[in-house]
Amino acid sequence: MAKVIVKDLHKSYGDNEVLKGLNLEVQDNEVVCMIGPSGSGKSTFLRCLNDLEIPTQGQVVISGYDLSDKGTNINLVRENIGMVFQHFNLFPHLSVLQNITLAPVQLNKESKVEAEKTARDLLATVGLSDKADAMPKSLSGGQKQRVAIARALAMHPSIMLFDEPTSALDPEMVGDVLDVMKKLAAKGMTMIVVTHEMGFAKEVADRVVFMADGLIQESGKPDDLFDHPKSPRLQDFLEKVINV
Amino acid sequence: MKKWQVAIVMLLAALGSWFTVGTQAQAKTYTIATDTTFAPFEFQAKGGKYKGIDIDILNAISKKENINYKLKAISFGAAVQQLSANQVDGVIAGMNITPERKKTFDFSNAYYTSGVVMAVAKDSKIKQFSQLKGKTVALKTGTAGATYAKSIQNKYGFKIKYFNDSNNMYNDVKVGNSAACFEDYPVMSYGIKNGIALKIVSKQYEAGDYGFAVKKGKNAKLLKKFNAGLKAIKADGQYKKIVDKYLHSSESSLTGETASSRTFIGLFTQNLGTIGSGLWMTLELTVISIILATVMGLALGVLGVMPGKVGPAISSTIIYIFRGMPLMVLAFFIYIGFPDLIGHGFKIPAFIAGMITLMLNEGAYTGAFVKGGFQAVDDGQMEAARSLGLPYWTAMRKVIMPQGIRIMIPSFINQFIITLKDTSILSVIGIVELTQTGTLIIARNFEGFKIWLMIAIIYLVIITLLTWLSNWVQRRIN
Ligand SMILES: Nc1ncnc2c1ncn2[C@@H]1O[C@H](COP(=O)(O)OP(=O)(O)OP(=O)(O)O)[C@@H](O)[C@H]1O
Ligand SMILES: [Mg+2]
């Protein structure tokens, strides 16, 4: 069974229907990149996958757990889905190490000692071994985002969601963060990445999904999609992005 | 159980025991209320004991008739209200017997007959009522003087300003804010003899009788005993002795103060004990109220940011009610109104009532800024915490609250200082805290300026210490 199954997903804020019936399946180890114009509902879609937004209609099934089912323990499902935000959302009152160990320790996944060991290993993978005891406000944007990725990984999730992880970063920081994500993809992590980094999508994605007006307009292998866009909307979008 | 849980349980138990003590009818011991500042009928002598014609008469009568009683000195207004609310058994406070009051109270036979006089500043040219036109007249609420002045107000065209306290009224006339005041003759003449810079310029009007009052239809036995005792002490000469003692002597022989004790330092050392106990009461009230208000405020704040509609609605309503109500109204409501509502002789000790009042009022203010502080934490923080799988309450406790509380620290310090100052309002329900201590000392020695200066300095010192402490805590946290 697919790892993520989305069926006929609708989401409205009052009269404003943001998602208008999305269908998507993501397989184990697959990396899916989502692209699309601003306001098309990409973030909303991603947030529906871990119940930060509650869909108005439709079904989301993660690793076999139906989120709309009352019997599903959402906290357990969330442990299995790491999420990385555009603005990092590190906990400013906690050190880097504490940011990473908070959830595993609070949820009794690991003892404090184990959690700290895991955290240091993760910091090494994201290239920030020397920052364990730093406070978030002393870090650069790129460092913050790498800590945020380490924090999400500390719960040993099997799916990672990224919502424009590099768009709040200075250009010279983007590479470090993308490198971490590439390593993750190479290790076989199932990933859904909302991004404007077409280069990353081309290189890493197994599949690219183009969203506009609350619907998936087109999807396919990156080479097909970027080189032979079918819909005028996508042609238009790619032209704008590339010209920027 | 954790330490704080034990503490809460103990606090609740303590509150509970206080209430039950409060509700137990004390067999045959009557509670008799009196005014705090109505020399020579009642005033606090050096060392905090009450003295005066009323007090001595009550004492003499009780000895004759074997009455057990506990004296409760509160403001005149509060005494009358508590009598009608059944919170006390009787009132003796230079209270005029009027047809109006007879509707709610039963009075003893008159134990003193007094008239109302007009007094003005020593250097004032006013001699007649007609000279009051367009000027302001100072009155003390609920007194015969007030009733009389009101009855001639239209005829002479003056404005009226009310005070709760004789000394503030005298002072207003002395400094020239008001042109005159109306006061019972013995009270005024006693005051002048003891240094108030006013003079009496009218004859006595509207002679009125003072009586001891009980609630209508209640305590008939007590009233009967009072009348019998009054007759007896009049017969054996005790009564005359008491009245003469107060009306024909100067204050110093009664309060035990000497002229040398009228310097600032002298007054301070003389009254150290009284001021100290007032200060202690203020601190006690402040500390307990701050703790309770903080707990309540945190609860209201957490409720206010809970998902769903019910929690926030409850929180906003409670904040709306208790923040909108003046502290004094709330104090009266809890101390006098609430027991009246429950009935069955239910009583709340003034200290408990004061504490609850402060908790509700300061707690509502605290709740408002706690809620604001939690809301000021970026939404992304909660989302990040929840996306890691943390349950709502864990996310609240570990992520939102530590950040929110940091934002709130300056507001907390501010609120602590306000709480400290607000304790002074509780003097209206008879709690003898620092401010009330000042009122009481001045009632017997009329040294308004020096005593208020002393009290003001003490408040400033505590507030300074409190601010230092808070800043230290703040530095520790950041
Ligand atoms: N909490 C909310 N309440 C009301 N409207 C919302 C809310 N969140 C999002 N929207 C609306 O939903 C629409 C889609 O927003 P969303 O953030 O999903 O777009 P996006 O594709 O992620 O855009 P961007 O590329 O700018 O991040 C927008 O019109 C937005 O105004
Ligand atoms: Mg977005």
Instruction: Determine the distance separating the centroid of ligand 2 and the alpha carbon of A192, expressed in angstroms.
Output: 13
Average pLDDT over residues A4-25: 95
For atom 1 of ligand 1, the residue with the nearest CA is: A13
Cα B416 from Cα A144, distance rounded (Å): 38
Q: Establish whether this prediction's ipTM goes over 0.90.
A: yes
CA distance A133 to chain B (A): 16
Q: So where are chain A's domains?
A: 2-91+158-243
Residue B388 to residue A151, Cβ atoms within 8 A: yes
Right CATH number for A2-91+158-243 from 3.40.50.300, 3.30.70.1140, 3.90.650.10, 3.40.718.10? 3.40.50.300
What residues contact A87, with CB distance under 8 A and at least 6 apart? Answer: A168, B380
Option in A52, A78, A87 nearest B389 (CB) = A78
pLDDT of residue B319: 96
User: For the residues B184-188, what does the mean pLDDT come to?
Assistant: 86
The residue whose two tokens read 């100290």 is: B276
Does pTM top 0.80 for this prediction?
no
CB-CB under 8 Å, A89 with B389: no
CB contact under 8 A, A106 and B398: yes
Distance B379 CA to ligand 1 centre (A): 15
State the count of interchain CB pairs (< 8 A) between A and B: 56
Q: Do residue A50 and residue B381 have CB atoms under 8 angstroms apart?
A: no
Record: contact A89-B383, CB cut-off 8 A = yes
Q: Does B388 touch chain A (CB under 8 A)?
A: yes
User: DSSP H helical segments within B24-106, as ranges?
Assistant: 53-65, 76-84, 99-102
Residue B109 has pLDDT above 50, yes or no: yes
More confident residue, A85 or B267: A85
Q: Write out the CATH class of domain B264-477.
A: mainly alpha
Q: What are phi and psi of B194, to 5 degrees?
A: -100, 25
Distance from CA of B400 to the nearest CA of A (A): 9
Q: CA geometry: angle at B17 spanning B275 and B326, to 5°? A: 55
The whole-number pLDDT of residue B255 equals: 52
Q: What percent of chain B has pLDDT over 70?
A: 90
Token reading at A153? 């990984």
The mean pLDDT of A27-39, rounded to a whole number, is 94
Identify the band that residue B5 occupies on the pLDDT scale cut at 50, 70 and 90. Answer: low
Each residue's pLDDT tens digit, B396-445: 999 999 999 988 988 988 999 999 999 999 988 878 899 988 887 876 67
Q: Please tell me which of the candidates A52, A107, A148 has its beta carbon nearest to residue B389.
A: A107
Q: What per-residue confidence (pLDDT) applies to B261?
A: 63
pLDDT value at residue B84: 85
**Does residue A92 belong to the interface with chain B, where contact is any CB pair within 8 Å?**
yes
**B26-111+211-257 and B113-209 agree in CATH topology:** yes
Residues A161-187 as b or e (16 or more Cβ within 10 Å = b): bbbbbbeebeeebbebbbebbeebbee
Identity of the highest mean pLDDT range in B97-101, B235-239, B242-246, B445-449: B235-239
Can you give the pLDDT at residue B428?
Answer: 83
**Tens of pLDDT along B248-260?**
665 445 554 555 5
In A79-186, the DSSP E strands lie at: 81-84, 159-163
State the closest ligand 1 atom to the C-alpha of A53, by its place in the atom list counted from 1: 1
- pLDDT for the residue B472: 87
Specify the range with the lowest mean pLDDT, choosing from B1-10, B89-98, B146-155, B207-216.
B1-10
Mean pLDDT of chain B: 86
Q: What angle do CA B273, B279, B282 make, to 5 degrees?
A: 145
Residue B280 CB contacts under 8 Å (≥ 6 apart), including other chains:
none
- The pLDDT tens digits for B258-311 are 555 678 888 888 788 888 989 999 999 999 999 999 999 999 999 999 999 999
Query: Which pair of structure tokens corresponds to residue B252?
Result: 């110093």
Least confident segment among A106-110, B94-98, B321-325, B351-355: B94-98
Tens-place pLDDT, residues B310-363 = 999 999 999 999 999 999 999 989 988 887 788 777 778 889 999 999 999 999
A47 CA to centre of ligand 2 in angstroms: 10
According to the model, what pLDDT value does residue B259 have?
A: 55
pLDDT score for B399:
96
Do residues B79 and B93 make contact, with C-beta atoms less than 8 angstroms apart? yes
Pocket of ligand 1 (CB under 6 A): A 13, 16, 18, 38-44
Answer yes or no: is pLDDT of B21 > 50. no
Which of A72, A95, A102 should one mutate to test binding to chain B, selecting the residue with the greatest count of B CBs within 10 A?
A102
As a whole number of angstroms, the distance between CA A157 and CA A137 comes to 26
- Closest Cα to atom 12, ligand 1: which residue? A18
A62 in contact with B at a CB cutoff of 8 Å?
Answer: no
Comparing alpha-carbon positions, the chain B residue that sits nearest to A77 is B389
Report the topology of domain B113-209.
Answer: D-Maltodextrin-Binding Protein; domain 2 (3.40.190)
Which residue, B211, B227, B220, B184, is CA-closest to B102? Answer: B211
Q: Which CATH superfamily is domain B26-111+211-257 in?
A: Periplasmic binding protein-like II (3.40.190.10)
Distance CA B41, CA B20 (A): 34
Question: What's the CA gap between A176 and A125, in Å, rounded?
Answer: 11
Virtual torsion, Cα A93, A97, A101, A103, nearest 10 deg: 30
Q: Please say if the pLDDT value at position B22 is more than 60.
A: no
Per-domain residue ranges of chain B = 26-111+211-257, 113-209, 264-477
Please check the confidence at residue A185 and state whether its pLDDT lies above 90: yes
Q: Which residue has the tokens 């697959």?
A: A30
Residue A36 CA: which ligand 1 atom is closest?
21
